[in-house]
């Protein structure tokens, strides 16, 4: 997942790829009005263009960034004060950052396109939601609240998926209504343990038929992640995608206590979570992050997400 991109080199040094004359990064200051801790900005980039959104944050404050691009090749990185070594790399970690920052200063949220997309001079429109709050303050942008209805209709390759869930209590029902399939557009209804926190479409096996990935987070302090997912079979009907539990493999499960985040990346589904040491409290993991990279492969009665790569940082 650390392929060369327009914003990073070997997944570590941010901005090196923009050192050429083609580079065009503009800077914008993110300011919050009095009494308001969040702001939403919109923008558009093309080719090697990029935008650095600069946010002043104090140590211990929680910064949340939600990125919603029109082009899946657009992503964002977060650079701490005074360094080009990224705190967060969106091309491998997804479109959401929500963590306490380690030091005072101005943090940079850099929006850009992957190198391949930049070379093709592609365009991406996007919305970026940014919020900053003290450790004990509540923030609506930090996570979807239980009781907040989920209703989205992601679309890819001419096929739409209307995903809805009431998100009331700890047990819910999610409904997926496809549109555009050639044979069967019947609704799919599943009971889930938790609430729906996201839904994305992708074509990670590049077969011309999209998949729908619905992200579920369980109730309680663990916030364990699970997945409801389906693939369009030759654009005709849907078959279920199975995600094996993390606990199936001891090497993946070591230090795992939930707090999963999912994202559709280039050719893979990414799943990352904090790694806990034995003495860690639930609120303070100290073992870094582990990210599993899944490929989509045929299974006996549908599709299976198989771990292709593991990254720890």
Is residue 217 scored above 50 in pLDDT? yes
Helix (H) or strand (E) holding 220: none
Average confidence score pLDDT of the chain: 84
**Is residue 160 located within the same domain as residue 288?**
yes
Give the span between the Cα atoms of 244 and 252, in whole angstroms.
11
| Whole-number pLDDT of residue 148 | 59
- Among 90-99, 110-119, 156-165, 236-245, the minimum mean pLDDT is found in 90-99
Q: How many domains does the chain have?
A: 2
**How many Å from the N-terminal Cα to the C-terminal Cα in the chain?**
13
- In terms of domains, do 48 and 105 share one? yes
pLDDT at 23: 57
Summarize pLDDT for 113-136 with one digit per residue, the tens.
988 888 889 999 999 999 888 755
Express each pLDDT in 11-41 by its tens digit: 323 333 333 334 589 999 988 776 666 888 9
What average pLDDT does this structure show over 242-249? 93
HSE-up (13 A, CA, CB side) for residue 12: 2
Element (H, E) at 150: strand 150-152
Q: What is the mean pLDDT of residues 212-240?
A: 91
How far is residue 94's CA from residue 179's CA, in Å, rounded to a whole number?
A: 26
Which structural domain range is residue 213 located in? 150-312
Domain-embedded: residue 140: no
**Structural domain includes residue 2:** no
Residue 141 lies in a domain: no
* Whole-prediction pTM: 0.58
Q: Are residues 106 and 186 in the same domain?
A: no
pLDDT-derived band at 223 (thresholds 50, 70, 90) equals confident
Same domain for 159 and 113?
Answer: no
Q: Given pLDDT bands bounded at 50, 70 and 90, which one contains residue 149? A: confident
Same domain? For 120 and 253 the reply is: no
State the pLDDT at residue 123: 93
CA distances from 128 to 74, 140, 268 (A): 12, 15, 23
The answer to the question of residue 199 being in a domain is yes
Query: Within 10 Å of residue 140's Cβ, how many Cβ atoms?
Result: 14
Instruction: Specify whether 166 is located in the same domain as 288.
Output: yes
92 lies in the same domain as 59: yes
Q: What is the pLDDT of residues 37-86, one digit of tens each?
A: 688 899 999 999 999 999 999 888 888 898 998 888 899 999 999 887 88
Q: What is the pLDDT of residues 257-304, one digit of tens each?
A: 999 999 988 899 999 999 999 999 888 899 999 999 999 999 887 899
| Most distant pair of Cα atoms in the chain: their distance | 57
145 within domain boundaries: no
List Cα–Cα distances, 264 to 37, 49, 137, 200, 235, in angstroms. Answer: 28, 23, 30, 7, 19
Residue 282 DSSP symbol: T
Confidence of residue 5 (pLDDT cuts 50, 70, 90): very low
With 0-12 / 13-18 / 19 or more C-beta atoms within 10 angstroms meaning exposed / middle / buried, residue 304 is: middle
Q: Is 162 exposed, middle or buried, given 0-12, 13-18 or 19+ CB atoms closer than 10 A? A: middle
Q: Does 1 fall in a domain?
A: no
Pick the last residue of a domain from 101, 133, 165: 133
Q: Check whether 138 has a pLDDT greater than 80.
A: no
127 and 160 housed in the same domain: no
Residue at 3 is within a domain: no
Confidence band (pLDDT; 50, 70, 90) for 101?
A: confident
């Amino acid at each position: 997942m650390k392929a060369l991109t327009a914003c990073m080199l070997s997944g570590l040094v941010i901005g090196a790829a923009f050192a050429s004359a083609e580079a065009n990064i503009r800077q914008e200051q993110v300011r919050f009005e009095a009494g308001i801790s969040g702001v939403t900005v919109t923008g558009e980039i093309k080719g090697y263009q990029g935008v650095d959104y600069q946010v002043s944050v104090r140590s211990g404050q929680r910064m949340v960034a939600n990125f919603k691009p029109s082009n899946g090749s657009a992503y964002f990185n977060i650079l701490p004060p005074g360094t080009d070594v990224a705190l967060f790399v969106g091309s491998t970690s997804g479109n959401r950052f929500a963590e306490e920052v380690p030091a005072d200063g101005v943090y940079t949220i850099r929006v850009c396109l992957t190198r391949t997309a930049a070379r093709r001079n592609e365009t991406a429109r996007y919305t970026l939601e940014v919020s900053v709050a003290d450790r004990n303050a509540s923030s609506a942008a930090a996570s979807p609240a239980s009781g907040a209805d989920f209703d989205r209709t992601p679309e890819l390759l001419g096929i739409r998926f209307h995903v809805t869930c009431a998100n009331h209590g700890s047990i819910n029902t999610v409904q997926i209504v496809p549109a555009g399939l050639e044979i069967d557009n019947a609704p799919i209804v599943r009971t889930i343990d938790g609430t729906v926190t996201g839904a994305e479409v992708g074509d990670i096996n590049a077969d011309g038929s999209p998949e729908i990935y619905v992200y579920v987070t369980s109730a309680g302090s663990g916030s364990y992640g699970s997945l409801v997912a389906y693939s369009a079979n030759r654009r005709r009907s849907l078959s279920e995608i199975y995600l094996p539990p993390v606990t199936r493999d001891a090497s993946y499960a070591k230090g795992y206590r939930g707090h999963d985040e999912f994202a559709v990346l280039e050719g893979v589904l990414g799943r990352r979570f904090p790694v806990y040491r034995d003495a860690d409290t639930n609120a303070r993991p100290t073992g870094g992050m582990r990210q599993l990279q899944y490929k989509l492969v045929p299974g006996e009665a549908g599709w299976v997400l198989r771990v292709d790569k593991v990254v720890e940082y």
